[in-house]
Amino acid sequence: MAKARPDELVFVPLGGVGEIGMNMAAYGFGPSHARKWIVVDCGVTFGGPNTPGIELVLPDPAFLEENADDILALVLTHSHEDHYGAVLDLWPAFDRPVYATAFTMAMLSAKRASEGIVEDVAIRQMWVGKPFTLGPFTVEAINVAHSIPESCSLLITTPAGRVVHTGDWKLDPNPVGGAPTDTARFAAIGADTTGPVALVCDSTNALKDGSSPSEDEVAATLAALIAEAPHRVAVTTFASNVGRVISVARAAQQAGRRVVMSGRAMHRISGIARELGMMEGIEPFLDQDAYKELPRSKVVLLCTGSQGEARAAIARIAREEHPEIALNAGDRVIFSSWAIPGNEREVIDIQNMLIDRGVEVITQANALVHTTGHPRREELKRLYDLVRPAVLVPVHGEAAHLEAHATLGRQHGIETVVHARNGDMVRLFPEPTLFPGEVRTGELYLDGNILCTPDESGVKGRRRLSFGGHVVISLCVNSGGQVVAGPDMTMEGLPDVEDDDDSLRDVVKRAIAGTLKSIPPKRRSDPELVNSALQRAVRGEVGAYWGRKPNVTVFVHRI
């Protein structure tokens, strides 16, 4: 356990350190028995093939619950799902304020309304460049360029030292729809000698050399692709990337085309941006019912579905199931996005369906139609030079990203580089020290409308069912051990090959009959014995025939 010191500043990652997404961190100040805490971000990640039926995975807030009386607030860096998506599910239980910029506040309110969430949180607005106090912490939001409006780094100041928590950022000199990263403020922090600085920094692109392309380079590519297209152009991108939506809208106006928008998330987020004055000079977007009325050469379709979501607009268009929108041979579709790991197959399937119909598909593989919102190695080194940190803690990444970032920091001369993971406690000041596995962390699953632990979710059972199928057997025995009804049998998920002389169904029937015959009548009156014997026999016989053992459920009713 960490020794109690009167003026310790500690950092505890609860999610997002050792994985992509589910970002959540806590900063504590004071001795171990009386620390005050602020929480930064409260995000989700998405379920994958190993979590069938689970759409969202949330960080387990058990550590925060243990310290609930000493938590002062939650501060949000921006409104991407991996940084704010769990707020309405987890934070109402803490009854503490949430600090966010105007755009993030509006996104939270819209999310609550669109998803019909009853729980609410107290949201307080924060402004870039205007510090505010939370107990022993002074927090200042610093503008950074990213792929969603009003993204912020946080300068967290305490009597023990200062932290720059970067959130998601890049050094884009020419972002679209927002101001560039405030390098002057970072330089001022680095030049300030009042106390040491720790840098808790985004590692997402730490494996990539150079600098990330600017958003205005993508805008130029989109403008050229839209201007030269002979027929319709459809663009699918992340609905939250307001800068990209602005770039498409400007390109359409320059080419004499109207923008038709399809997808609820696209409408909702662009509406928020317009209300907050982020789309000045952009013509109002048309709804999808105007699509058929426009000539093929006079339309740009902006639609959801860049991640292959089955119900999103571009997927329905690709399957020719959309009620208002169709694409024909010679039309052009631009995927102005990248596929989040785990979504690649769905995205490729949609692209192939479009290509098979003669639609031209353009992706980042053959044109600069997308750029990241995260810093590459040269940008990281530039930030080191500006902030001059005494301590570097790489966050926001999987193990490979974190280790590459740590190596880069050491090579650049940073005195102390901490290799932290979720659940570690890092004393930042004084005397930077890592205490591995100091706090409880984990995951919660949002399973439909139910928030539960992985053990409670039933996902293990779903995986077993998906691998081995299910055999259900039901029979009735009397007190004398005679089978008076059944056995009845249902099989789900097992192969049923018509040409086989001996089917799996026959194998199961023989296993049931042989097992019942082998049990003496007096012992057949014991439901538990019959249940166990039938389970073993059916699993064994099917396993020998098929090579896989199914899940077997037996109901023995005694009458």
Residue 40 within any structural domain of the chain: yes
Amino acid 5: pLDDT = 54
- Which pTM value belongs to this model? 0.90
39 and 136, same structural domain?
Answer: yes
The CATH number for 263's domain is 3.40.50.10710
1 pLDDT band, cuts 50/70/90, is very low
CA distance 24 to 18: 12
551 and 510, same structural domain?
Answer: yes
257 and 385, same structural domain?
Answer: no
270-278: long-range contacts at Cβ-Cβ below 8 A with a sequence spacing of 24 or more?
Answer: 270/239, 270/242, 270/245, 272/103, 272/106, 272/107, 272/110, 273/103, 273/149, 273/177, 273/242, 273/245, 275/106, 276/102, 276/103, 276/106, 276/149, 278/103, 278/149, 278/177, 278/178, 278/242, 278/246
For the segment 251-263, the average pLDDT, to the nearest whole number, is 96
The CATH number for 513's domain is 3.10.20.580
56 and 199, same structural domain?
Answer: yes
220 and 205, same structural domain?
Answer: no
Residue 2 within any structural domain of the chain: no
Range of the domain at 430: 9-210+372-457
**Residue 271 dihedral angles phi and psi, to the nearest 5°:** -65, -40
Secondary structure letter of residue 271 according to DSSP: H
CA distance 159 to 207: 35
The 10 Å Cβ neighbour count of residue 519 is 17
Amino acid 443: pLDDT = 93
321 and 338, same structural domain?
Answer: yes
The CATH number for 433's domain is 3.60.15.10
Task: Give the length of the chain.
Answer: 559
Q: Encoding tokens for residue 331?
A: 């039309």
Tell me the pLDDT tens digit for each residue of 258-314: 999 999 999 999 999 999 999 999 999 999 999 999 999 999 999 999 988 888 999
Residue 353 within any structural domain of the chain: yes
183 and 40, same structural domain?
Answer: yes
CA distance 496 to 417: 58
CA distance 301 to 285: 10
Q: Are 353 and 319 in contact (CB under 8 A)?
A: yes
Amino acid 224: pLDDT = 98
Domain end call among 313, 341, 362: 362
**Residue 263 dihedral angles phi and psi, to the nearest 5°:** 125, 125
Q: Encoding tokens for residue 390?
A: 């005494």
196 and 63, same structural domain?
Answer: yes
Residue 435 within any structural domain of the chain: yes
Q: Are 304 and 263 in contact (CB under 8 A)?
A: yes
Residue 464 within any structural domain of the chain: no
For the segment 220-235, the average pLDDT, to the nearest whole number, is 97
252 and 114, same structural domain?
Answer: no
Instruction: Please give the tally of structural domains in the chain.
Output: 3
For the segment 536-544, the average pLDDT, to the nearest whole number, is 93
Residue 394 within any structural domain of the chain: yes
Q: In percent, how much of the chain has pLDDT > 90?
A: 80
Tell me the pLDDT tens digit for each residue of 119-163: 889 999 999 999 999 999 999 999 999 999 999 999 999 999 999
Domain end call among 457, 482, 513: 457
Q: Which amino acid is at 129?
A: G
CA distance 446 to 262: 27
Residue 305 within any structural domain of the chain: yes
378 and 355, same structural domain?
Answer: no
**Residue 426 in this model has a pLDDT that exceeds 80:** yes
Domain end call among 398, 424, 457: 457
**Residue 475 in this model has a pLDDT that exceeds 60:** yes
Residue 476 within any structural domain of the chain: yes
For the segment 198-210, the average pLDDT, to the nearest whole number, is 97
Tell me the pLDDT tens digit for each residue of 82-110: 999 999 999 999 999 999 999 999 999 99
| Tokens 């081995």, residue located | 468
Contacts with 403 (C-beta within 8 Å, 6 or more apart), sequence order: 394, 419
Tell me the pLDDT tens digit for each residue of 322-339: 999 999 999 999 999 988
CA distance 155 to 198: 10
Mean of the per-residue pLDDT values of the chain? 93
343 pLDDT band, cuts 50/70/90, is confident
194 and 128, same structural domain?
Answer: yes
Tell me the pLDDT tens digit for each residue of 387-414: 999 999 999 999 999 999 999 999 999 9
Amino acid 6: pLDDT = 67
300 and 252, same structural domain?
Answer: yes
Tell me the pLDDT tens digit for each residue of 486-500: 899 999 988 887 666
Tell me the pLDDT tens digit for each residue of 34-65: 899 999 999 999 887 788 888 899 999 999 99
